[in-house]
A and B are shown apart, each in its own frame.
Chain A
């Protein structure tokens, strides 16, 4: 029950931040825009898809082609959402742990009958829950928009929502660790973005075409490989989520398992740091 109280307090904290409303606002605008832009009308020969009132194809398309088209649209929107979540979500939640650890605030929390790891877990769950609500809002909204405007009610979008929450959860384990370590929101944001947009994606995930070109040294390459497996494989999961949304069945789930283990390890690392620290 105490854990729930921490989660509730964290949700209140996030609800007071403009970033969360900006994210929800952008989602709303995109959903309304999509609802106005896309529609499909049924004819005897198939479905006629229109974009902004103009027919997209000259002839009606069969149902499976319509489903494929809708999935491509959904994948595009989910990709945009993913980027938005990575930018705004990290921006909104990166301060959760550093704010808690500020002088004058941390005393209030730690003097309560709560274990330090429990406090961190409550903050973690609160952060993931807040972003999860945003993801669900957008993807359930997209599911309703596409369902009502095209007649395609694609349940894979619901699974995508769960996958994206899971992905954010893995990343947030790392954010929690950095926040506990640095106790500074700005540094947490910078280091997380550095990891997301420079280290993980372009360098580690594509190490054969980037970092490995610098040297053939075995030790160097082993270290690079080690780093690749140490950090959550966000790019790998992103590719898996896109494949799942496109209806592919041969999805590589290994990055998901690796990211889960990595996110858990980073969270536990943060808990150990917090346990040892004097305030």
Chain B
């Protein structure tokens, strides 16, 4: 049984007189997420990420398709018994203290009595909010609200955790702490569904990533799969790149760029790469390494979105 399954999910929002204006927020999304994975959903604003999460949490009804959480249809409230959710821009009632937020929202998930009290203390300690437990949340900063939100999402010891921009407003130290919490949760076998604009953060923690744009799933895979380029290689050499080689190679492959410790060759296929290597040898250059080049997740993301816009 998968942690999450989306089967041909589509969502069209209607507005205006008689619903004449239609916005297709999600188009035929099919996705499965295994247990124990940290899965991230990326996409520009309006890509459909939040709609996807909201459908999975039954906050939004899909127009077509279906989705399930831990084997139960998302429309079944019991499906949410073993999930935790940290929404983006969440608002806890200002009249509650941090401790009361956890006890109140914990009670809504079915956790009670001594277990609730123990988890409240444990989680406030984990997110570094122990000293603020008796303070009303209306006095909390954005970062503190995020920490409390994370604790709230974990109050029922969920199997699946949805985090929407969890590090939003959190300082760098706090961000690292949250990343560490995510790794601990993953080690404990929890499934984490992450929505974040901070691609460097996503890259650090995610097992798999999906990229959405205009409601369509463009690509899904591991971080390695998404960041490894098919056509670029870094070739390490001893000495400097001869200018004559650059001119000759540029005419025969997609591109060659000389750098301090070697060169980057963009080639159409492996034979073209061998052509570059042969040319280097012909120019008497000693080769020390050949490596497929990796982009950062951000570069891959921008590249993919740009290509989608152009197409």
A5-B108, A278-B59 known; A108+B77 contact, CB < 8 A: no
Q: Is the CB of B59 within 8 A of A110?
A: yes
Q: Is the CB of A13 within 8 A of B93?
A: yes
Surface stretch bound by A, among B99-107, B183-191, B201-209, B263-271: B99-107
Q: Is the CB of A13 within 8 A of B95?
A: yes
Q: Of the candidates B79, B91, B104, B110, which one forms a contact with A8 in the assembled complex, judged by CB atoms under 8 Å apart?
A: B104
Q: Is the CB of A104 within 8 A of B109?
A: no
Per-position binary interface string of chain B over residues 82-102, scored 1 when its CB falls under 8 Å from any chain A CB and 0 otherwise: 010101011111011000100
Give, as a whole number of angstroms, the nearest-CB distance from A261 to chain B.
28
Give, as a whole number of angstroms, the nearest-CB distance from B84 to chain A.
8
CA distance A186 to B200 in the complex (A): 44
Q: Is the CB of B92 within 8 A of A108?
A: yes
CA distance A111 to B160 in the complex (A): 12
Give, as a whole number of angstroms, the nearest-CB distance from A83 to chain B.
28
Q: Is the CB of B77 within 8 A of A6?
A: no
The answer to whether A112 has its CB under 8 Å from any CB of chain B is: yes
The answer to whether B61 has its CB under 8 Å from any CB of chain A is: yes
The answer to whether B214 has its CB under 8 Å from any CB of chain A is: no
Chain A residues contacting B77 (CB-CB under 8 Å) are: 113-115
Chain B residues contacting A5 (CB-CB under 8 Å) are: 104, 107-108
CA distance A6 to B106 in the complex (A): 11
The answer to whether A102 has its CB under 8 Å from any CB of chain B is: yes
Give, as a whole number of angstroms, the nearest-CB distance from A3 to chain B.
10
Residue with the greatest number of chain B CB neighbours at <10 A, chosen from A13, A112, A279? A112
Residue with the greatest number of chain A CB neighbours at <10 A, chosen from B61, B83, B85, B87? B87
A9-B104, A112-B105 known; A1+B61 contact, CB < 8 A: no
CA distance A278 to B11 in the complex (A): 11
Please give me the residue from chain A that is nearest to B106 by CB atom: A5
Chain B residues contacting A114 (CB-CB under 8 Å) are: 77, 108
Please give me the residue from chain B that is nearest to A107 by CB atom: B87
CA distance A107 to B80 in the complex (A): 12
CA distance A242 to B51 in the complex (A): 53
Chain B residues contacting A106 (CB-CB under 8 Å) are: 59
Q: Is the CB of A110 within 8 A of B108?
A: no
CA distance A105 to B93 in the complex (A): 8
The answer to whether B196 has its CB under 8 Å from any CB of chain A is: no
Q: Is the CB of B90 within 8 A of A113?
A: no
CA distance A110 to B90 in the complex (A): 12
The answer to whether A254 has its CB under 8 Å from any CB of chain B is: no
Give, as a whole number of angstroms, the nearest-CB distance from A251 to chain B.
41
Q: Is the CB of B87 within 8 A of A113?
A: no
CA distance A112 to B58 in the complex (A): 10
Q: Is the CB of B108 within 8 A of A6?
A: yes
CA distance A70 to B93 in the complex (A): 44
Q: Is the CB of A279 within 8 A of B104?
A: no
Chain B residues contacting A104 (CB-CB under 8 Å) are: 87, 89-91
The answer to whether B57 has its CB under 8 Å from any CB of chain A is: yes
Q: Is the CB of A278 within 8 A of B96?
A: no
Q: Is the CB of B90 within 8 A of A2?
A: no
Please give me the residue from chain B that is nearest to A3 by CB atom: B108
The answer to whether A12 has its CB under 8 Å from any CB of chain B is: yes
The answer to whether B216 has its CB under 8 Å from any CB of chain A is: no
CA distance A25 to B85 in the complex (A): 40
Per-position binary interface string of chain B over residues 103-144, scored 1 when its CB falls under 8 Å from any chain A CB and 0 otherwise: 011011110100000000000000000000000000000000
Q: Is the CB of A113 within 8 A of B104?
A: no
Give, as a whole number of angstroms, the nearest-CB distance from B89 to chain A.
5
Chain A residues contacting B198 (CB-CB under 8 Å) are: none
CA distance A37 to B123 in the complex (A): 56
Q: Is the CB of B109 within 8 A of A113?
A: yes
The answer to whether B175 has its CB under 8 Å from any CB of chain A is: no
The answer to whether A215 has its CB under 8 Å from any CB of chain B is: no
Chain B residues contacting A16 (CB-CB under 8 Å) are: 93, 95
CA distance A197 to B172 in the complex (A): 57
The answer to whether B197 has its CB under 8 Å from any CB of chain A is: no
Q: Is the CB of A111 within 8 A of B83?
A: yes
Q: Is the CB of A279 within 8 A of B96?
A: no
Please give me the residue from chain B that is nearest to A106 by CB atom: B59
A residues with CB within 8 A of B: 1-2, 5-6, 8-9, 12-13, 15-16, 102-115, 276, 278-279
Given A9-B104, A12-B104, A111-B87, 17 extra CB contacts under 8 A: A1-B112, A8-B104, A9-B108, A13-B93, A13-B95, A104-B90, A105-B92, A105-B93, A108-B91, A108-B92, A110-B58, A110-B59, A111-B80, A113-B80, A113-B108, A114-B108, A278-B59
* 28 A-B pairs in the complex with CB atoms less than 8 angstroms apart: A1-B107, A1-B110, A8-B107, A9-B108, A12-B95, A12-B96, A12-B104, A13-B93, A15-B95, A16-B93, A104-B89, A105-B93, A107-B54, A107-B57, A107-B85, A107-B87, A107-B90, A110-B59, A111-B59, A111-B85, A111-B162, A112-B80, A113-B77, A114-B77, A276-B61, A278-B13, A278-B54, A279-B59
Closest A-B pairs by Cβ, 10 of them: A16-B95, A5-B107, A104-B91, A107-B87, A111-B85, A113-B81, A112-B108, A278-B60, A113-B80, A279-B59
B residues with CB within 8 A of A: 13, 54, 57-61, 77-81, 83, 85, 87, 89-93, 95-96, 100, 104-105, 107-110, 112, 152, 162
